[in-house]
């Protein structure tokens, strides 16, 4: 069981965020790797002897820090609250019987992060509270006797600011964790995380110590941090003149009302009423009046360019529907030119049944919505030249 502890802890840290991400959530999942510095005192007193002058001397060997590799994952519960799991695999050097040896430790556990600055997209400081499991395979002494002391009475004792009165700590224990950190995003998906945690042992045989961590963090899912481009909405002003007669006063008051309507919406709503009979490219009678209104709108924007796009329903072969949709687009093109819309601002193209929403087996009345022509504005000049040259 002890030999499997390290791979089990690493698997938990890595699999938790990946499972959350696999659920297709819109919340952020963060995964990180980095390095840690662990402030855990290791003390050894050796070479105790008495000098010819009667003084007692000894060698004190003490190490404070050791390093490790850290893994980190966090899941966004709310914009200001994250649940995380983080762990460190440490490599410590310690003294045993006067010899310097290498030891391993593992520190892993869950926690909650509070990120109060929810409006900050690129710099996210946080406070962290959690609980961890700590295990090491090397001893840590704070108290002992001198080897070679003929009196058998002298003892040595070492203390640090966080472990006053401690004589020896256990090889495994559970500490509470309190810390601070900062995630700074270099881009939409990659950032740097810096954190510092204080470990407070729950038991009487555990040591208190601190851990500092820094490393890269990668973000999966969630909303993009990049500013979203807002396309300017083209508007036309429809001038409506209403005549208002005030009976009490023998004066007529003329009131002008200006109503702003997006022209894209106007064209889209109008073209929704331009449909075709099955297997036909002829404009229906009810569509003729609609095209009068479409032409009236387009003639107000002769400095712009538009593509007339023909579509068919899903019934029939691809090649046949390509020809039929092109014929429908051309029919609307010619009808608009006939109504005074400049030919230079229009082009036409058929798209077959590529955008059909209704299956071929549906009834004719339902499929009628796929037999349509739409008008799209073209703003990219190289695309417009290509369309005109290949019309």
DSSP string, 25-44: -SSEEEEEEEEEEEEEEEEE
Q: Does residue 152 lie in a domain region?
A: yes
81 close to 97: Cβ distance less than 8 angstroms: no
Based on the domain organization, do 148 and 281 belong to the same domain? Answer: no
248 found inside a domain: no
pLDDT at position 257: 46
Domain assignment present for residue 234? The answer is no
Judgement on whether residues 178 and 308 belong to the same structural domain of the protein: no
First to last CA, the chain: 73
The 8 Å CB, 24+ separation contacts for 48-53 are 48/146, 48/147, 48/148, 48/149, 48/154, 49/148
Based on the fold, state whether residues 286 and 367 are members of the same structural domain: yes
* Domain range enclosing 54: 5-221
Tokens linked to 62: 């003490």
Per-residue pLDDT 10s for the chain (391 aa) are 444 544 555 555 555 555 545 445 578 999 999 999 999 888 777 777 778 887 888 877 778 899 999 999 999 999 999 999 999 999 998 877 667 889 999 999 999 999 999 888 899 999 999 999 999 998 887 777 777 777 777 788 777 778 877 776 788 999 999 999 999 999 999 999 999 999 999 877 788 999 999 999 999 988 887 766 544 454 544 555 555 554 555 555 555 544 444 565 577 777 887 877 778 888 888 888 888 998 998 898 889 999 999 999 999 899 999 999 999 999 999 999 999 999 999 999 999 999 889 998 888 888 888 888 899 898 889 888 888 888 7
Q: Residue 209 is encoded by which pair of tokens?
A: 């110590």
Residues 167 and 276 in one domain: no
The CATH number given to whatever domain includes residue 345 is: 3.30.1330.60
Q: Number of structural domains, the chain?
A: 2
* Statement to judge: residues 163 and 32 lie in one domain: yes
Give residue 216's pLDDT: 97
Contact residues for 249 (Cβ-Cβ < 8 A; gap 6+): none
Same domain, 276 and 325: yes
Find the CATH number of the domain harbouring 191: 2.40.160.20
pLDDT at 260: 47
pLDDT at position 125: 97
**C-alpha–C-alpha distance, residues 82 and 293, integer Å:** 55
pLDDT of res. 93:
86
Instruction: Please say which residue of 167, 198, 221 terminates a domain.
Output: 221
User: Residue 227 domain-assigned?
Assistant: no
Q: What is the pLDDT of residue 42?
A: 80
What is the Cα–Cα distance from 247 to 174, expressed in whole angstroms?
89
Beta pairing partners, 35: 69, 214
């Amino acid at each position: 069981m002890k030999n499997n502890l390290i791979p089990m802890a690493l698997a938990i840290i890595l699999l938790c965020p990946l499972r959350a991400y696999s659920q297709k959530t819109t919340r952020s999942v963060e995964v990180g790797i980095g390095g840690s510095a662990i402030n855990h005192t290791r003390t050894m007193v050796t070479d105790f002897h008495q000098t010819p002058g009667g003084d007692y001397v000894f060698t004190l060997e003490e190490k404070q820090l050791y390093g490790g590799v850290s893994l980190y994952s966090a899941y966004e519960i709310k914009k200001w609250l994250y649940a995380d799991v983080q762990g460190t695999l440490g490599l410590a050097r310690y003294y045993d019987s006067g010899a310097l040896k290498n030891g391993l430790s593992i520190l892993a556990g869950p926690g909650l992060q509070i990120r109060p600055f929810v409006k900050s997209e690129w710099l996210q400081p946080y406070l962290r509270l959690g609980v961890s499991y700590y295990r090491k395979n090397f001893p840590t002494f704070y108290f002992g006797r001198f080897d070679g002391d003929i009196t058998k009475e002298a003892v040595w004792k070492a203390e640090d600011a966080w472990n006053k009165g401690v004589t020896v700590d256990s090889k495994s224990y559970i500490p509470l964790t309190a810390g601070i950190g900062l995630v700074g995003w270099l881009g939409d998906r990659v950032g740097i995380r810096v954190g510092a945690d204080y470990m407070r042992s729950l038991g009487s045989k555990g040591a208190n110590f601190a851990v500092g961590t820094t490393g890269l963090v990668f973000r999966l899912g969630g909303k993009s941090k990049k500013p979203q481009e807002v396309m300017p909405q083209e508007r036309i002003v429809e001038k409506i003149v209403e005549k208002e007669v005030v009976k009490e006063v023998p004066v007529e008051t003329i009131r002008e009302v200006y109503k702003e309507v997006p022209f894209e919406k106007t064209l889209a709503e109008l073209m929704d009423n331009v449909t075709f009979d099955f297997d036909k490219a002829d404009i229906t009678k009810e569509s003729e009046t609609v095209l009068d209104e479409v032409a009236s709108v387009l003639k107000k924007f002769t400095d712009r360019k538009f593509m007339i796009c023909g579509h068919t329903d899903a019934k029939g072969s691809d090649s046949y529907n390509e020809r039929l949709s092109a014929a429908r687009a051309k029919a609307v093109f010619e009808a608009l030119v006939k109504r005074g819309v400049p030919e230079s601002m229009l082009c036409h193209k058929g798209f077959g049944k590529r955008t059909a929403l209704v299956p071929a087996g549906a009834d004719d009345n339902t499929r009628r919505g796929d037999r349509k022509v739409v008008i799209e504005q073209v703003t990219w000049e190289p695309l417009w030249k290509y369309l005109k040259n290949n019309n």
